Amino acid sequence: MTSLRVVMPLPDHDFDPTEAAVTWKTIREAGHEVVIATQNGTRPYADPLMISGEGLDPWGFIPGLRKLKLVGLALRAQREARAAYAEMQRDESFNAPQRWVDLKVADFDGLVLPGGHGPGMVQYLESEVLQQFVAEFFDPDQDDKPVGAICHGVVLAARSTSPHTGRSVLHGYKTTALTWRQEKAAWRLTRYFARFWDPLYYRTYAEGDGESAGFRSVESEVKRALANDADFLDVPHDAAHHNTKTDNRHRDSPDDDRPSWVVRDGRYLSARWPGDAHTFAGRFVELIEARHDQGLSPQ
């Protein structure tokens, strides 16, 4: 198998370590290259709370007690994801990324958009440079190169406007993303029982005056970009392992995809949260390799 090149844009800080590192490691272990890109070509940093878990407990604002973790152990990235992130930090491309403005669709065989919910994600989600690049990747003239987006990465795709239609590149696609039910559950947990002094930690965007609950959630924003609400796919009630997929406690692994929910529509792949990351990454590899096997990958 020819080594394929996948580009992974990241913000300077606060991206989710599981969604980025598990995907990075899976693609690399399949024999392909992952090119990291940041706004100015500087080394990025994952959300530190998702690495250590420190500061996610009710006493997390107290210096002497910060390292005592209970809730933080449950909410932080799992051991395998943390190990993948440690490995990712030693990667040459991670330490010397390309700049967003220098990215060219012709140089890559696929695009992956990880998510994250911390305030540093705003740089990534609101970048007009990245939105233009994502739109170019979705352009029909690009030979249907695969695009994968997970969690808040779907928001970046939703905000990317096709120059041909003036609509979101996701208009007409079926997708999933972080659901309002998931986002609300994490928000309420930290708001009332854990990181209460920082009640919007799990809300990248909060509702303004006069806006209904959830209006600024990932699910609501993505739905506004779609052709219709029915194109946003959550786990159906009759799905196998429905409770495992929706209880917000189980996460997938390389050997167990039962907790995951991943949606494919043509060359576009989407997933909800870090609990889907292994399955998402594995299916993305299948997607870029299948495209290459069909003779569509440029040499």
What is the structure's pLDDT at 64?
A: 86
Q: What is the pLDDT of residues 56-100, one digit of tens each?
A: 999 998 988 888 999 899 899 999 999 999 999 999 999 999 999
Q: From CA 76, how far away is CA 86, in angstroms rounded?
A: 14
CA-to-CA distance for 285 and 99, rounded, in angstroms? 24
The predicted structure's pLDDT at residue 287: 97
Q: Which of 28, 21, 22 is nearest to 6 (CA)?
A: 28
Give the C-alpha separation, 278 to 70, whole Å: 25
Confidence check: pLDDT of 16 > 50: yes
Residue-wise pLDDT tens digits, 116-163: 999 999 999 999 999 999 999 999 887 899 999 999 999 999 999 999
Extents of the domains making up the chain: 5-293
pLDDT of 204-220, one tens digit each? 999 999 999 999 999 99
Choose the weakest-confidence range: 42-46, 78-82, 189-193: 189-193
The CATH H-level (homologous superfamily) assignment of domain 5-293 is Class I glutamine amidotransferase (GATase) domain (3.40.50.880)
CA distance 127 to 155: 12
Residue 140 has a pLDDT of 87
Confidence of residue 1 (pLDDT cuts 50, 70, 90): low
Query: Of all helices (H) and strands (E), which one includes residue 33?
Result: strand 33-38
Confidence label for 298 from pLDDT (cuts 50, 70 and 90): very low
Rounded average pLDDT over 24-40? 98
How far, in Å, CA of 205 to CA of 96, rounded?
A: 30
Q: What's the pTM value of the predicted model, to 2 decimals? A: 0.96
Per-residue model confidence as pLDDT tens digits over 240-296: 999 999 999 999 999 999 999 999 999 999 999 999 999 999 999 999 999 988 865
Render pLDDT for 218-235 as a digit per residue (tens, 0 to 9): 999 999 999 999 999 999
CA distance 178 to 220: 10
Q: What is the pLDDT of residue 299?
A: 32
